[in-house]
Each structure stands twice: as C-alpha cells, then as structure tokens.
Amino acid sequence: MTQNPPRPRIALLTTGGTIAMTAQGGRGGQLALDGAALSASVPGIETLAEIEVRPVLAKPSASFTLSDLGRIAAAAQEAAEMFDGVVITHGTDTLEETAFALALLTRAEAPIVMTSAMRRPDQLGADGPANLAAAIRVAASAKARGLGLLVVSDDEIHVGALVRKTHSFRPHAFSSAPFGPIGWVAEGRVRIALKPAFDLPHLAYPGGEPVVPIVEAGPGLEPKVVEALAPACDGLVVALPGAGHVAAAAVAPLAALAAERPVVFASRTGAGETLQNSYGFGGGEIELLAKGLIGAGPLDARKARVLLQLLLAEGAGVERVRAAFAGI
Ligand code: ASP
C-alpha cells in the first residue's frame, strides 16, 4: 500500500484587510471573515497543506501602528521556527511597510509569505482565494526557502523589501519596479527565476512608537512647515525631487532639526538612489549631506520611514542611523 507524503504544515497568520472584508449593509466593506472562513474560501486547501490558523490582528492596515508591525513580526518569526512555511493575510494599503519591517525584523529559512486582496470576497472577480492559494503553495515550496520575506499577489512572487502598492483598485496592484517579480505561480507550480542579492540589517523591536512624519517636497518647501513639525517628531523623512534636492530656503530649518534628530532625505522618483556628490547648488544633495542630513540611498520615503522608526525604537542616535542607512 502506498502512503501519501505528509502535507506541508503552514501557519496562516491573519491581520485583516480586504481579503477578510464583506459589505455590511450600506456601510461598505467591514472585517467579517476569520481565518477558518478564509481557509474555506480556497477549494481543496486541505490537499495543499495542513493549515493552522493564528489570528494576530483584525484591523484595516492604515490603522496599524509600529507595535502592530512588531507583533506581526514576532508571530511570523515564532511560526517560521515551528512550521514548514508561514502565510500572512494583510490589507493591501500598507502591506509594503509591513513587508519591509518584516524583512528587517525576521530571519528564517522557512518561507514567510504575505498576501492580500484588492476585491472583497463578495465582489465580482474576488482575488483573495486565488492569492491565498498561491501564497500557500509558495510558503510550502522548498524553492522559496531562504529568500527572505516574500509577497504573493496576482500569481507573482515579489521580494518583500522591494514591493510597493502601485494601483488603488485593480487586482494587479503590486510592483517591484524598476526590478520585477522574482518568480510566479502557474497552474500551481512555483517558479523562482531570480534570487535577491542584497543584505538588510537584522533589527529587533523592543516597543515604542517613534513619531516620524514624511514630508514630500515639490518645487518649494516652506520653512515654516519644517519648523512646525520639528517639536512634534522624533525624526523626519523628506521625499525630495530628483536625486535629493530641496528648495534652498528649506535647508536652514532642515539642518537645525538634523542637529538634534535624524532627518533622512529620499528621492521621490521611485527608482535609483539619492546621490552624494553630483550637485553643489543650494539645496542640492552635497549641501544636505554637509548639513548633517542622511541620504536614504535606494530606499523610498516609506521604507526609509520604517527603517528610521525601528532604529529609533532600538534607541539609535543620529550616528547609528547614519551608519545603518549607509550600509543599505
Ligand atoms: N482597507 C484595506 C486594508 O486593510 C484595503 C485592502 O486590503 O486592500 O489595507
């Protein structure tokens, strides 16, 4: 008599999001599905894996705090040490921040895979069940081991440290541009075409909610905006045009803040990195660095904010923050 091979054991961590929401009367989408209902939405799920549901949070992701991200990371780390793989269901809105935080806070051989949905289960073309099935297959795959935090959406496999939400309502809402997905799922087969080659620092989250706003500048940034924010923030991220260029008038208040707390400047272009030694005009990156601001390098403002919040939560001072960004 032949025996079936044991099914992979997958922990399903639930945190909320559209994947678990249905329309409630005239009040729009509200959280309604627990982990058991989510599992039940995938026909034949029991043939893919043995699933253990572990509820972690139940809120829309725009309301997540840094403590919530720390809680998801701790639950994912624990599950990755006990199971063959981990799937985390999450709202799409701030999935990129949680994915980046988990890439910094977790280290595991077992795949940790985030997934989500753009359409509720009660909407035509609901994408949650297919995304969940694909995420379970990736989490159960030996090919996905040791690749770091992954995000599965619309049959694509993305590196969690690179992915961004780039559409507000279509099912194909995630992109790792200017790179791309590192793999895909086709007819249930998991393909990995590329492996990430970068290292991120491994951080711990001891608790705390450092206040780090993001200010995006265009042509012009009023000094009074920076001055008004300064007393309220533990650090600041400014998303700047081009390679990191701000209105000359904003340099003085930014420099004053940078003398006390970390001020990180990122490029708002969505690709490339902040430069260090190309532009010498007032407000150019050479002046910003000379005045003590810290370049985000290849990180966009949202990822830079997550890194800065986690470093501040660890108690890092300006020089440790500078070294951490320089090491990215
Ligand atoms: N409101 C949802 C969230 O929690 C949106 C989504 O999941 O797409 O992010």
195-238, pLDDT tens digit by residue?
999 889 999 999 999 999 999 999 999 999 999 999 999 999 99
CATH class name, domain 9-192: alpha beta
What atom of ligand 1 comes closest to residue 61's alpha carbon? 4
Q: Report the nearest atom of ligand 1 relative to the CA of 60.
A: 4
Reported as a pLDDT band with limits 50, 70 and 90, residue 150 is very high
**pLDDT band at residue 4, thresholds of 50, 70 and 90?**
confident
Measured from the CB, is residue 68 less than 6 Å from ligand 1? Answer: no
**Any atom of ligand 1 within 6 Å of the Cβ of 17:** yes
Q: Where do runs of H (alpha helix) occur along the chain? A: 35-40, 45-48, 66-80, 95-105, 128-139, 223-229, 251-258, 285-290, 301-313, 318-326
Atom of ligand 1 nearest to the CA of 29: 1
CA of 4 to the centre of ligand 1 (A): 38
22 is catalytic: no
Residue 92 annotated to the active site: yes
Catalytic residue among 92, 94, 106, 274: 92
Q: Where are the domains of the chain?
A: 9-192, 214-326
Q: Is residue 92 in contact with ligand 1, taking CB distance under 6 Å?
A: yes
**pLDDT tens digits, one per residue of 278-313:** 999 999 999 999 999 999 999 999 999 999 999 999
* CB 235 less than 6 A from any atom of ligand 1: no
Q: Is the CB of residue 291 less than 8 Å from the CB of residue 254? A: yes
Tell me: pLDDT of 1 over 60: no
CATH numeric code, 214-326: 3.40.50.40
Closest CA to 154 of 124, 183, 177: 183
The answer to whether 9-192 and 214-326 have equal CATH topology is yes
pLDDT digits (tens, 9 = 90+) for 237-287: 999 999 999 999 999 999 999 999 999 999 999 999 999 999 999 999 999
Q: What is the pTM of this model?
A: 0.97
Q: Looking at residue 138, what is its pLDDT? A: 98
Q: Is the pLDDT of residue 2 over 70?
A: no
Estimate the crossing angle of helix 66-80 against helix 95-105, to 10 degrees: 50
CA 39 to chain centre: 24
